[in-house]
Amino acid sequence: MAEQPGKGGILYIVATPIGNMEDISARALRVLAGVDVIAAEDTRVSRKLADRYHIQTPMIAYHDHNEQRKAPQLVDKLVHDEDIALISDAGTPLISDAGYRLVRLAQQRGIRVTAVPGPCAAITALSMAGLPTDRFVFEGFLPAKAASRRRRLADLKDESRTLVFYESVHRILATLRDMAAIFDGQREAAIAREITKQFETVKRDSLAGLLAWLQDHPRQQRGEFVILVHGRTQAAPAAEELERVLSLLQAALPLKQAVELTAQITGAARNEVYRLALEDSGD
């Protein structure tokens, strides 16, 4: 292929659609048609995509259950100058999908690994949810067992970044119920369901509101989901409390020290306390 450097083949990590079959890049199609082998999570699923774009490249199954056995075999092919494209059933390989072992093994053997980026449900959901995106944490799937799931949620309770989870149809209600109980039902969250598909739905509400809405709309409980939860926000100290602490400290300390200590005690922003102190002194 045109992108071939020196020795050995190239391992391409190729993103494929997460619903709408048109969401595949020109480069992805060229790479899939040009490599020697496509390593696919489920060859029956990927064959549909290949057929649609008249791609006849041979496919090998590569998934969570045969990864340990298959990774060395694929790397042998790469060492013998074959190019391989890794794809999953949907979206970006390695993101809650197999591939980690193959990428590391290939890199250890000096094989060039490159990516053909494209759809990813987590990133697409973030772009539509209307929750803060400047800092976020991808948590993937929560544990299936209720006790472990609740423990994980309790660990994440104080996280201030937007939380992004994948969830299956089987556990969507149980997970939302646990989130509402552990994070607080009033915490803002969003569900992105069936992204890029016919019944795509994006809904933002409190966790309690989302749970009630899903319970009232059984049809919305079907399909694939990304759950996004607003990070914990530091509650602003009540105005009276701020004033009380500030006036006590101002009576005993110079202005600068009183402001500094008030900010530390109440968690309020220094400039806000300073502004309040100046306002008070102007009374």
Residues found near ligand SAM in the complex (CB under 6 A): 18-19, 88, 90-92, 95-97, 120-122, 166-168, 192-197, 224-226
User: Whole-number minimum distance, CB 142 to ligand SAM, in Å?
Assistant: 11
Tokens at 168, concatenated: 């299956």
Nearest residue (CB) to ligand SAM, 95 versus 105:
95
With respect to ligand SAM, which residue has the nearer C-beta, 25 or 96? Answer: 96
Alpha-carbon span 262 to 260, nearest angstrom: 6
Q: Between the CA of residue 261 and those of 236, 241, 253, 266, 277, what are the distances in Å?
A: 16, 14, 10, 8, 12
Closest CB 116 distance from ligand SAM, rounded Å = 13
Report in angstroms how near the CB of residue 108 gets to ligand SAM at its nearest. 23
d(CA 241, CA 270): 15
Measured from each CB, the residue nearest to ligand SAM is: 91
Bridge pairing between strands 162-167 and 201-206: unpaired
Nearer to ligand SAM, 13 or 75 (CB): 13
Measured from the CB atom, the residue of 164 and 261 that comes closer to ligand SAM is 164
Nearer to ligand SAM, 97 or 188 (CB): 97
CA distance 192 to 228: 8
Smallest distance from ligand SAM to CB 16, Å = 9
Instruction: State in angstroms the smallest separation of the CB of 33 from ligand SAM.
Output: 22
First-last CA distance in the chain: 77
Query: Between 27 and 253, whose beta carbon lies closer to ligand SAM?
Result: 27
Query: Phi/psi of residue 83, each to 5°?
Result: -95, 140
Nearer to ligand SAM, 104 or 256 (CB): 104
Give least dist CB 53 to ligand SAM, A. Answer: 19
Tokens describing residue 1 = 């292929």
Min dist CB 260 to ligand SAM, Å, is: 46
Give all strands of the β-sheet with 225-229 in edge-to-edge order: 136-141, 162-167, 225-229, 188-193, 201-206
CA 185/CA 154 separation, integer angstroms: 14
User: CB-based contacts of 112: which residues, under 8 Å, 6+ apart?
Assistant: 5, 8, 10, 11
